[in-house]
Structure 1
Amino acid sequence: MLGKLNEKQIDEILAQQVTGRIGCNAEGVTYIVPVNYFYRDSVIYAQSTKGKKIMMMRKNPEVCFQVDDIKTIFSWRSVVAWGRFEEIKDSDQKQQVMQGLIHKLMPLADKPNNHPFHGITENERDIDTRKKLIVYKITLTTKTGRFEKS
């Protein structure tokens, strides 16, 4: 049976998952990339270093976000949402987002205290300061979801 997810089910999936995909488009090029994130109040929060995704979203902040919950090939739920990218500049807000990411991701990490690339480490000096973390949010404006249940 195929069907549509309601708003509550869509929000549950977005809140439960930790990895989604951002689709961005700039200068005639479309790029889709997985990101770790957390979700709250119709906003996706994430961090990155400077690269293709960040450069494209800076040029065109209108993005698409997609996430799945797949049990089997015939039992899955999928959400596609559209929104607007915005870098978080305020240091207090950045700290709150990083804490939210740590809280969401670290239970799934094999060595939770040793991920300097993600800005997570016991020793701050382990973080490569040349790779400055960019903390951002995507405020979702439209969300849709589908499911299949066997």
Structure 2
Amino acid sequence: MDKGQIDDLLKSELIGRIGCFDGNKVYVVPVTYAYDNGYIYGHTKDGLKIRIMRKNPNVCFEVDWMKDMSNWKSVIVYGTFEELKGDDANNGLDILMKSIMSNLDREPLSTKDPDHDDLGIENFAFLHSFLSPFLHSKNNEIFEIVVYRIKINEATGKFGDNKKSNSYY
């Protein structure tokens, strides 16, 4: 795959897998993500994956698409984890939400509720589902959200019959 094909696959998918290493074990976990301008954006609760990436920010990220055994694409990214704070975190969440909504082909719903106008969000129902993993089930207490990005240092892509592979970045 060339760089454009790699970028297209990264933009078109919603679920990828992060691989990180704690010095003893490799940990691979699926995540919802967005790709934008050389970065993979994600959000999560503070947990094992975040603790490992804080210690060792060198990560691998994989995404694939498969129609059948003859029609498939796969991209592997090598990059550097960065935890985002403040305005950078808000920007990362915005990139993530817009990417997910566009990939799900959802039409944004306009919110006429004045209580939600200050959020700047066109689809309040989507926001609730986007944040639901961070709500404590008993009292709707919100857990701290960790927003991160992975700077792509190198990317490799393959498709179809494994005959073509190229590295970029």
Cα distance change, pair 127–106 in 1 and its aligned pair in 2 (3 A): farther
Aligned-pair CA distance for 1:80: 0.4
Aligned-pair CA distance for 1:146: 0.3
Are 2:123 and 1:132 equivalent residues in the alignment?
no
With a CA cutoff of 8 Å and minimum separation of 6, indicate the structure with the bigger relative contact order.
1
Q: Any conservation in 1 of the 2:134–2:144 contact (CA below 8 Å)?
A: no
Q: TM-score, normalised by structure 1?
A: 0.83
Paired-residue identity, % = 36
Residue among 51, 63, 67 paired with 1:55: 51
C-alpha distance in 2, partners of 1:119/1:102?
15
| Contiguous gaps of at least 5 residues in structure 1 | 121-125
Cα distance change, pair 78–48 in 1 and its aligned pair in 2 (3 A): same
Are 2:97 and 1:102 equivalent residues in the alignment?
yes
Structure 2 residue aligned with 1:92: 87
Residue among 121, 128, 131 paired with 1:114: 128
Cα distance change, pair 6–18 in 1 and its aligned pair in 2 (3 A): same
When you count strand as a share of all residues, which structure comes out higher?
A: 1
Aligned-pair CA distance for 1:128: 2.8
Q: TM-score, normalised by structure 2?
A: 0.74
Are 2:5 and 1:9 equivalent residues in the alignment?
yes
Q: Any conservation in 2 of the 1:117–1:128 contact (CA below 8 Å)?
A: no
- Report the RMSD for the aligned CA atoms in angstroms: 2.3
| Contiguous gaps of at least 5 residues in structure 2 | 107-124, 162-169
